[in-house]
Structure 1
Amino acid sequence: MTRKPIEKPCGPHVPVLLDEVLAALDLPGTTLAVDGTFGAGGYTRAMLAADPDLRVVGIDRDPSAIAGGAALVAASNGRLTLVPGRFGALDAHLADLGEAQADRIVLDIGVSSMQIDQPERGFSFRNDGPLDMRMAATGLSAADLVNEAEEVELADIIYHYGEERRSRAVARTIIEARRRGRIETTAQLADLVAGVVRTEPSSGIHPATRTFQGLRIAVNDELGELVQALHAAERMLRPGGRLAVVTFHSLEDRIVKQFFSARSGRAVQASRHMPSALPGGEPTAARSFTPVTKGPVLPSDSETARNPRSRSAKLRAAERTDAPVPAPLAAIQALAALPEAPRGGARR
């Protein structure tokens, strides 16, 4: 059967490391691929173009992303199905569609350019907007967290998830400010943080960047979702199936790196934030994956010049073996959890 080809991605939302992801997935001849983080549909569009017989299931918890993909669904000749939901439950979503296994799975972790560029979503302080940060339209917002969490919890979130060394000072400033009234906008929060965190001339990043990252990760349980998605992909991939994951900061990459290391027969190393949680690493006997990429694949200089947001991107990929599905890795789950931070000297 001759199918009308799907054009490759174009426009402002071309995903990072696109060629490298396609090479790692090695799509020709496969049947079913899953884009666990559909977003603007860049990876999905490229996968549909790579093989005219490939079917794709796209998953996204953001209702606007699902709605925005309607035109691509219509152009796919029945080859694309979009599912609203969390990618951490991708195995359940596939089961609901009657799919027992998948050939390829790709995950692009973190906030999308579309979400950042919409002030009303509250992900960015570049333009003032409501302090929201929710990828879905439900649940606790960043404003709820900032105005209701205790000082210690806020400091731990900002320190561990945002990797902000001045987290105690930021949390203390937030508590003092909210006594005078609720903190409702991104500009309010960014100004508060800028008052206690110095700008780093070498990096050029805004002083509120790490605080916003920490709150966003907590609001959306991004690391917990990533851990669930890795284990779900392991359950759903057929032998020879491939999983490609693109991350954008060290917390995400550490989880993916340790998961693939453990599942290829090496021990999970302790996190620098949680040395007591993982005292001796966690060896695994079941080698359910073999590496496809040797270490992280980074964007080229030309790509970072075209798209500065790609600078921190890392791609890791692995191929599923025929080993039985092993038990979930407790050590990987611990990497996603919010531990109790040391009370002396760890934060300034």
Structure 2
Amino acid sequence: MSHVPVLLREVIEGLAPKPDGLYVDGTFGAGGYTRGLLTAAPCRVIGIDRDPNALSAGQALEAEFSGRFRFAAGTFSQVETVLQDLGEATLDGFVLDIGVSSMQIDQAERGFSFQKSGPLDMRMSVDGPTAADAVNLLSEQELADIFYVYGEERRSRRAAKFIIDARGEAPITTTDRLAEVVQRAIGGKHSAIHPATRVFQALRIFINDELGELARALEAAERALVPGGRLVVVTFHSLEDRMVKSFLRSRSGQAGGGGSRHAPRVDAGPAASFELVTRRAVSAAPDELELNPRARSAKLRAAVRTSAPAWDDRIALSRNVIGLERLESAL
């Protein structure tokens, strides 16, 4: 099955590509957004992806759109470094599609899904610890925290305890074994989703530092976009959407309210660095939902960069309870 980019029409509308503009597709994948941009206007695009499997699609587009497209291996939070390496300074648009792609899910050997038996990997790149390393080396408390924070799993402690008991018998190295252990722990006969869904989500987000990546990318976009440049982010989980929503509301001066006649706002803070394109997240239209069920949970938020300086304050990752350094040191 060919890859279908989610909310493609809305992404292109949000970026509003212009001739000779420079745009970055920070989650290149199979190049769906990139192709949409290149065909919508005679612009230039840089595609970034840390998945080595994206290289072949990137090379094909480089040949097809010679001089207008370049592919860079790396993480989207490194967008400023990529621009510097390619001799560019600023951006007219930046798009991110946060989360695992359908192509990655479909590859059993990548270990992202419990629908197919495969090694418990979950890495979007080929570097760093795997999900198997996490479930076999971290403590019960650390696993419970990961499941609760990144997966919002209410029975996180029970899931962690069952994993500790199971790995005491034999290491947990495959997706189906982990799913079976979690299913025994959580149950879920009357649930619409598989009981292991949130645990798998949590491990994937943790292993790939997805929230940290997103935070760094939002801050980088604020610095790299020219006045009038556009930021478009598509998310699939509430954790990522809340981060994007909070960032854009804050940077557009919408956070904290505007005061009242009884208590007028005194400290307005820094000048707004973004203007919201829409106040609410954009969801997929009915015609897309019929063709692409993956779009059901997708939310798009977009904003336009103002001429105000980038803010100095960093995005607080108050829920980032455990870092990958702890796991790396255990290997």
Q: Secondary structure at the match of 1:195?
A: helix
Point out the structure with the larger helix share. 2
Partner of 2:24: 34
Q: Which runs of 5+ in 2 are unaligned?
A: 258-266, 324-331
- The answer to whether the aligner puts 1:305 opposite 2:290 as a matched pair is yes
Deviation at 1:183, TM superposition (A): 0.3
* Per-residue deviation, 1:339: 7.1
Answer whether contact 2:47 2:58 (CA < 8 A) is retained: no
| 2:212 match | 224
Of stretches 59-68 and 164-173 in structure 1, the one that deviates more from structure 2 is 59-68
Q: Do residues 338 (structure 1) and 321 (structure 2) align?
A: yes
Give a deviation string over 1:193-238, Cα, whole Å, max 9, x none: 1112132646x21110000000000000000000000000111000
| 1:178 and 2:177 are equivalent in the alignment | no
2:227 aligns to what SS in structure 1?
A: strand
**Compared CA separation, residues 339 and 143, structure 1 to 2 (3 A):** closer
Corresponding residue for 2:246? 258
Mapped to 2, the partners of 1:220 and 1:318 lie a distance apart of 26
Mapping of residues 155-194 of structure 1, within 5 Å: 155-194=144-183
Secondary structure at the counterpart of residue 151 of structure 2: coil
Identity among equivalent pairs (%):
57
Q: 5+ unaligned residues in a row in structure 1: which ranges?
A: 1-10, 270-281, 341-348
CA deviations over 1:270-316 (Å, ceiling 9, x no partner): xxxxxxxxxxxx97423100001221000112212211111110000
Asked if 1:19 corresponds to 2:9, the answer is yes
Deviation string for 1:148-169 (max 9, x for gaps)? 0011000000011011111000
Counterpart of 2:263? none
TM-score w.r.t. the length of structure 1 is 0.87
Give me the TM-score of the superposition, normalised by structure 2.
0.91
What letter matches 1:189 in structure 2? L
- Taking the TM superposition and a 5 Å limit, the aligned residue runs for 1:94-133 are 94-133=83-122
Match of 2:280 in 1: 295
Which residue identity does 2:181 align to in structure 1?
Answer: L
Q: Distance in 2 between matches of 1:106 and 1:46?
A: 12
Matched-pair contact (CA < 8 Å) for 1:258–1:268: no
Q: Give the Å deviation of 1:68.
A: 2.9
Question: 1:267·1:284 contact (CA, 8 Å) conserved in 2?
Answer: no
CA distance in 2, matches of 1:138, 1:339: 19
1:140-187 deviation per Cα after TM superposition (whole angstroms, max 9, x unaligned): 100000000011000000011011111000000000011111100000
Match 1:80 to one of 62, 69, 89: 69
Structure 1 position 30, deviation (Å) = 4.8
Q: Provide the aligned C-alpha RMSD in A.
A: 1.8
In structure 2, do the counterparts of structure 1 residues 154 and 231 end up closer, same or farther at CA, with 3 Å as the change threshold? Answer: same
**Hey, what's the Cα distance between the residues in 2 that align with 1:178 and 1:309?**
33
